[in-house]
Amino acid sequence: MKRFYVVASVPLLLAALIPMAASLYLAQRKARDDQLAYLTSLADEVLRRGIASRQQLVAALDELDKDPSPPCSQASMARMQQMVGTSFYLQGMGAVVDGTLVCSTLTLGSAPVPLAGKPMVTSSGISSWIGARLPFAPEQPFHIYARNGHAVIIHPGIVIDMPVLHADVALGLAIITPKALIRTRGPLQEAWLDHYQAPGHNQVESGTHHIVFRSSPNNNVVALAAAPKAMAYEGLARQALVLAPLGLLASATLALGVAALTRWQLSAQSRLRAALRRREFFVLYQPIVDLQTGRWTGAEALMRWRRSNGTLVPPDEFIAEAERTGVVAHLTRYLMDRVLADLPEVLKACPGFHISLNLSTQDLVADGPVQYLRQRFEAQDLPPGALMLEVTERGLVDTEAARPALQAGRQIGASIAMDDFGTGYSSLSMLESIDIDTLKIDRIFIASIGAQAAISPVTTHIIEMAHKLGLDLIAEGVETQFQADFLRERGVRHAQGWLFAKAMPLQELIAGLRAQAGG
């Protein structure tokens, strides 16, 4: 209990001292995050429209390139009118020669229109005149994009005009190469483009503004939305008045939660560590049988826990608790010590016999239990092949992290088995990338044999796959003779289950081995 108060006092003290600071920080962070989320939604919409308009203009230019009619001919103009009518973002089409719009669907019957200034040429070879003025609407700028003499006319507002919450919110659309603004709305500063870092989406700050960039390198465009930082914090005081009481309530709840969680974690961890100190854990061995000869060729070491009051704790319960509280590596080392102490007597009764050890995901780390096992194994001068290490599919999801531990096992001649195979994590590519020797077919697949279950064909598939990969097989949970015959007929060599023997103490295992040797 003293330990509980020592460990719990720090978070409890912090929870009591910083509620107001936390509420103010959360209010400020929420205001900033809300503004960034809002700007992101605006930039996404500008980008979506910008991409759509660009795709339409490129598609239109591609179609005009295929049109055999002479530019500005009646047939060509009719074709362009038809294309404009079916395009949402395009207001007009025409022809450009030497910087002059010689004809267009918007200027029918008018004289050619010189386009002021030198055009900007994009990386895709499209020339663009931004803010061009046409005679029928001299106050309204248009964007004209030309390639191979064909031109597309776009009203810039159709992409950038959208409702915003405040007049100081600025929107923009730019091309990436060369970097240049092509559409703007609101008080946007062209210098903000210097903050963009391609490729990718950026959230940046200038001295006064939050700025969000959303880009599409494939379409050579980037959208931006910006708003003054001060605008985000206008309601901060109001939010703080709301959040401060909530912060106090949250702090009290957090303190109680921390106390309860710490007590629960420490009590669970303490129970396991105390049980290790009192040596309440013991080992049983379940034989692994050769289905061809009926002889015991190995045994799986199984950890069991009997409390001081005599009650047995189910393995699934205490192993899950050990993994959750970080004690599982201590249990594994304890199991290794007991097995290494038993091995000499087992090998004396049956040379060539092996014991298999189950490893948790947390055991497959550098300088973990497997490296400890290697040192102990080499110190006892035990023969190679005396051990099998069983790892679960879940433990091999991160193959690179598990590899040093598996290599340490290989160094003492241990074989590697994948336990509970087929339960959902592994794949054929995983089996091919990991150096394992044996697959253990999970008992749920064995139980389906003879039960007319839909899962039964999976068992056959696992067996066939293992044979193709040259892997040994051990079937777990065999309980009927029909299951044993089914497996043997399909080339499964080894099995374990109540049909052959239940888990037993060391002396019963040795007695059984000696009886086989005497027979």
Residue 491 · residue 475 · CB < 8 Å = no
Assigned domain for 31 exists: yes
| Residue 70 and residue 171 in one domain | yes
Assigned domain for 133 exists: yes
| Residue 288 and residue 163 in one domain | no
Q: Token match 């929107």: residue?
A: 171
pLDDT at 301: 97
Q: DSSP secondary-structure letter at 490? A: T
Taking the C-alpha atoms of residue 250 and residue 256, their distance in angstroms, rounded to an integer, is 10
CATH number, domain at 480?
3.20.20.450
pLDDT at 196: 87
What value, to the nearest 5°, has the Cα angle with vertex 177 and ends 172 and 180? 35
| Residue 221 and residue 285 in one domain | no
| Residue 365 and residue 454 in one domain | yes
DSSP 98-167: TTEEEEETTSTTSPPEEPPSPPEE-TTS-EEEEEEEETTEEEEEEEEEEETTEEEEE-THHHH----SST
pLDDT at 164: 83
Assigned domain for 237 exists: no
| Domain endpoint, select from 213, 229, 245 | 229
Residue 127 · residue 119 · CB < 8 Å = yes
| Residue 309 and residue 434 in one domain | yes
Assigned domain for 261 exists: no
What's the half-sphere exposure (Cβ side, CA atoms, 13 Å) at 151? Answer: 34
| Residue 294 and residue 389 in one domain | yes
| Residue 45 and residue 144 in one domain | yes
pLDDT at 140: 85
Tokens of 285: 């061995």
| Residue 365 and residue 492 in one domain | yes
Residue 34 · residue 42 · CB < 8 Å = no
Q: What does residue 364 show for φ and ψ, rounded to 5 degrees? A: -90, 60
Assigned domain for 251 exists: no
| Residue 78 and residue 155 in one domain | yes
| Residue 94 and residue 34 in one domain | yes
Kindly report whether the global pTM for this prediction surpasses the value 0.75.
no
| Residue 216 and residue 285 in one domain | no
Residues 6+ apart with CB under 8 A from 332: 357, 359, 360, 363, 369
Angle between helices 315-325 and 328-349 (to 10 degrees): 130
Domain that holds residue 132: 1-229
Taking the C-alpha atoms of residue 41 and residue 43, their distance in angstroms, rounded to an integer, is 6
Q: What does residue 74 show for φ and ψ, rounded to 5 degrees? A: -60, -40
**How many domains would you assign to the chain?**
2
| Residue 221 and residue 284 in one domain | no
Q: Which residue numbers in the chain have pLDDT < 50?
A: 1-5, 7-8, 262, 264-266
pLDDT at 252: 59
Assigned domain for 421 exists: yes
Tokens of 65: 């390139």
Assigned domain for 254 exists: no
Instruction: Tell me how far the alpha carbon of residue 393 is from its chain's centroid.
Output: 17
Taking the C-alpha atoms of residue 459 and residue 444, their distance in angstroms, rounded to an integer, is 9
Assigned domain for 239 exists: no
pLDDT at 253: 65
